[in-house]
Chains A and B, each alone.
Chain A
Amino acid sequence: MKIYSLTIFSTENDAVVNLAGEHDLSGFGFFQRNSVQEFLTFFSKTVAERTKPGQRQSVEENNYVFYAYSRTEGLAGIMICDNEYPQRVAFSLLNKILDEFLIKFPRDKWIPQSIVFPELKNYLIKYQDPKQADQIVKVQTQLDETKLVMNKTIETLLQRGEKLEDLIDRSQEISFQSKAFYKQAKKTNSCCSIS
């Protein structure tokens, strides 16, 4: 699974303006890259225009999936990846970069040419492997590993000491006959009584 591009647009004033964007075109042949990049940018812009503020959506086109997240602050983040990339991870990534962007660049700084946002590149690289990067997935895998270790520990703990099966068998053997005698005595001596 791959992320091809991450772009941030400003959606104010009904005009979608590209603020920052990064692309990973290593999967494409050298001569195709330019046209692919144009194509991706164009598509991103279109999707951003069509995404209402506060809305998340995903668009599928051939093998590509466009994840769009438009925020009410007037920002929209578009991510283009292949169809294997997990949706939840995609949206959490978009959320993250938009948060960081907002913190770093307040509204008055949204001038397209002057924005330097190196984190975008970092994220693009980092999130190529969703398992490594995504917190939730990481925690889930750790959890599964821990559960396995836990189960193994419990098993070994219970093996120590006397097995319960032994105790079950031994306690079955314990018996005690105590009341035979009174009845016996009564039967054999019902006629006599000692004063």
Chain B
Amino acid sequence: MIGEYHLDFIPFEDDLLSLELDYTFKELYLDGDYTSIYYAARALMKLQTLFGLFPRVLGKGDCAKHLADMLLRMRREVAVDDPSSTLVVSQNIDSLIIIDRSVDLITPLCTQLTYEGLIDEVFSIRASHVEVDSSIVGPAPQKSAVGAPTSTSTTTTTTPSQPPPQPQAKKKKIALNSGDKLFAQLRDMNFAVVGSVLNRVAKRINDDYEGRHQAKTVAQIREFINKLGGLQSEHQSLRTHTGIAEEIMGVTVTPEFNKSLEVQQNLVAGVDVNTQNDCIEEMINRQVPLVQVLRLLSLQSLVNGGLKQKNFEFFKKEILQTYGFEHLQTLLNLEKLNMFVKQVSTRNPYANIRKSLRLIVDEVEENNPHDISYVYSGYAPLSVRLLQCVVTKGDNGIRNNGWKGYEDVLRMLPGKTFDEVQRKEDSVIRPKRLIQGQQPRVTLIFFLGGCTYTEISAIRFLAQQDDGQREFVIATTQITNGNSLLNSIMQKTEHPGVTAGTL
């Protein structure tokens, strides 16, 4: 008896589900292979059978529209196959919002600046785990030479009888999820404040340890011992994250990183294009990994509606000569994706989009952010701004007004816009007004083609802002970043010398 096991959504956190389909970006937008839309629809259908029909399905993007249509069709199919099944409208979920990656390619191309985002950029997070050098998370091997091996923090301690062991180059896999309380606190913060938080936590743990001097009676000592286990694991967690943060800082202080960041921020702010081109040219000359160069060039192409002819030809030549002629295919792929093209008309909708959606925010308070733009230190992810259009209160006081009021902006973005209400039989479902004391409404947002850790952080920020009236659950085909996105469409060959690198 053979059956099929449908492994659909994998829950990474209470508010994060992923299908872990790594190649959807390439398949959907380059190959025209819509299989992943089917898998997404099937997974969402399963959610509907469990939690009820989504009263409202909205979204932006052509593939997103395909997904919505497929969902509606699946629902009708279920009704046909099994007439006795009654799908009721969901009590908790108030809407499904589908965002197509192709609507916002700018966001993943920018370097993520949240703690978890930077870990992904520097180390590459796979299935909520990172692999790092064990020296980052354990005490330096020289100290632990004599005596019993230290706690289970390292997997590399040698037998005690040897003289000081050589530093091991082994890797250790670390789980990054909200089970680690310290990580849960740090993950969505801008990296600028991570150091001070770690510092505060270190001082607090130190004070707690000092509390042992206050314990005089047996009861107090027992209480301290009970706390000790928790303090030790916090201490280990602190050690790990201090190590990771130091490694990341090692990258962020380099002039290469800062230059790249400057180019990105100038491009997104629409400033001084020509100087940016000089910088990019210099990077190619220095043989910086191609993926970094392509991130910046694609970004430029997207925000300016393409490159001027002579710049376009120039960069094409430089790339082929520096990185290899196989990348002709890479550049053709990018052209097909509309990510690296020649400018055809001077009309560029991006400037208007940037203004109407307020994508650039000058005053960014990293310690206590008031806007989602903190995740890129001044740029608000376009995709999440679109989400904000839908969920913030409209003028008539009703939340979840759909796309009303933003039709102009939406027209400027590529892809279809849609807003459907799912009917049960013939009755229309009205979005319920939230009564005081009721459970918060859940809005499900689905990223088709991948989403980044910064987008997740930004959405979590929105959830906090709303006084607990609304919860967001984020679902995606996979979690991605600029490197994985571009690597999936880059031509690969065995090429000695330059290879596609990180960051």
Question: Residues of A at under 8 Å CB distance from B?
Answer: 143, 147, 150-151, 154, 157-158, 160-162, 164-165, 167-168, 170-179, 181-183, 185-186, 188-189, 192-195
- Residue from B242, B245, B249 having most chain A Cβ neighbours under 10 A: B242
Contact B202 A183 (CB under 8 A): no
C-alpha gap A174/B246 in the complex (Å)? 6
The answer to whether the Cβ of B498 comes within 8 Å of any Cβ in the partner chain is no
| C-alpha gap A47/B467 in the complex (Å) | 79
Q: What A residues does B262 contact at CB under 8 A? A: 181
Stretch at the interface among B83-91, B203-211, B329-337, B472-480: B203-211
Contact of B192 with A177 in the complex, beta carbons under 8 Å:
yes
Main secondary structure of the interface of B (DSSP, over half): helix
Decide if A185 touches B271 in the complex (CB within 8 Å): yes
When distances are taken between beta carbons in the complex, the residues of chain A under 8 Å from B351 are 193-195
Q: What's the nearest-Cβ distance from chain A to residue B238, in Å?
A: 6
CB distance B360 to A164 under 8 Å?
Answer: no
Which one of B17-25, B193-201, B320-328, B450-458 is at the interface?
B193-201
Total number of A-B contacts with CB less than 8 angstroms?
A: 122
A168 pairs with B271, CB closer than 8 A: no
Interface centre among A161, A165, A186 (most CB of B within 10 A): A161
Q: Is A182's CB under 8 angstroms from B270's CB?
A: no
Of B153, B245, B261, the residue contacting A181 (CB under 8 A) is: B261
Q: How far is the CA of A143 from the CA of B238 in the complex (A)?
A: 34
Q: Would B150 and A158 count as touching, CB distance under 8 A?
A: no
CB distance from A45 to the nearest CB of B (A): 44
Chain B contact residue count (CB 8 A cutoff) = 54
- Asked whether, in the complex, the Cβ of A194 is within 8 Å of the Cβ of B270, the reply is yes
A178 surroundings in chain B (CB, below 8 A): 113, 190-192, 261, 366, 377
**B252: CB under 8 A from chain A?**
yes
Docked pose: A177 CA to B195 CA in angstroms: 12
Whether the Cβ atoms of B377 and A179 lie closer than 8 Å is yes
Question: Smallest distance from the beta carbon of A149 to chain B beta carbons, Å?
Answer: 11
**Chain B residue at minimal CB-CB distance from A147:** B221
13 new A-B contacts at CB < 8 Å, known A157-B228, A188-B271, A194-B271: A150-B225, A160-B150, A164-B205, A164-B209, A171-B242, A172-B195, A174-B246, A176-B191, A178-B191, A179-B378, A181-B265, A182-B364, A185-B266
Chain B residues with Cβ under 8 A from A158's Cβ?
209
B82: interface (CB < 8 Å): no
Q: Is there an interface contact between B212 and A151, defined as CB atoms closer than 8 Å?
A: yes
